């Protein structure tokens, strides 16, 4: 223990939570910078990319509900609703009444939104590679560990 903080860790650098927070902040800054030319926030990009990813290349653009989207990206449903409103105002998504459930809202990406998502995704993947480096077996192991942590700590989302 250093200083006057009582901790099981000898320093902040020995705390997995602190190190994850610190690295995440740096990575998010790189992603924000990559998204500036596209006038998208990080969360706007994530939702747009998730909708575009789910879009069927064969032409099925039925979309998904806001609740399904929130669950897929592990985000708060109210926040997803607010961000989708901003994306709708920009013409990137459509929000429609669900044909079978009056309480649900169906969301689908527009053609312009899908094109934007593809262009922004290329920039995000370049930023990821610059930040994380080229994929190695160690990186794949790290990614598998992150996926395991995500699954184990899923909670209500």
| Contacts of residue 9, Cβ cutoff 8 Å, sequence gap at least 6 | 15, 18
**What's the mean pLDDT when you consider all of the chain?**
90
pLDDT digits (tens, 9 = 90+) for 75-111: 999 999 999 999 999 999 999 988 888 888 899 999 9
Residue spans per domain, the chain: 12-132
12-132 fold: Arc Repressor Mutant, subunit A (1.10.10)
pLDDT 10s digits, 40-76: 999 999 999 999 998 766 555 678 999 999 999 999 9
Task: Classify residue 4 as exposed, middle or buried by CB count within 10 Å of its CB (0-12, 13-18, 19+).
Answer: exposed
């Amino acid at each position: 223990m250093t200083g006057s903080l009582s901790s099981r860790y000898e320093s902040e650098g020995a705390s997995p939570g602190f190190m994850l927070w610190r690295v995440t902040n740096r990575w998010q800054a790189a992603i924000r910078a990559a998204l500036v030319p596209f006038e998208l926030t990080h969360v706007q990009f994530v939702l747009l990319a998730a909708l575009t990813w789910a879009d069927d290349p064969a032409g099925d653009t039925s979309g998904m509900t806001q609740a399904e989207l929130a669950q897929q990206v592990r985000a708060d449903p109210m926040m997803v609703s607010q961000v989708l409103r901003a994306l709708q105002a920009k013409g990137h998504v459509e929000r429609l009444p669900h044909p079978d459930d009056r309480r649900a809202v169906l969301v689908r990406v527009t053609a312009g939104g899908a094109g934007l998502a593809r262009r922004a995704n290329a920039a995000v993947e370049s930023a990821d590679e610059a930040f994380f480096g080229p994929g190695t077996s160690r990186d794949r192991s790290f990614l598998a560990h992150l996926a395991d942590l995500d699954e184990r700590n899923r909670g209500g989302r």
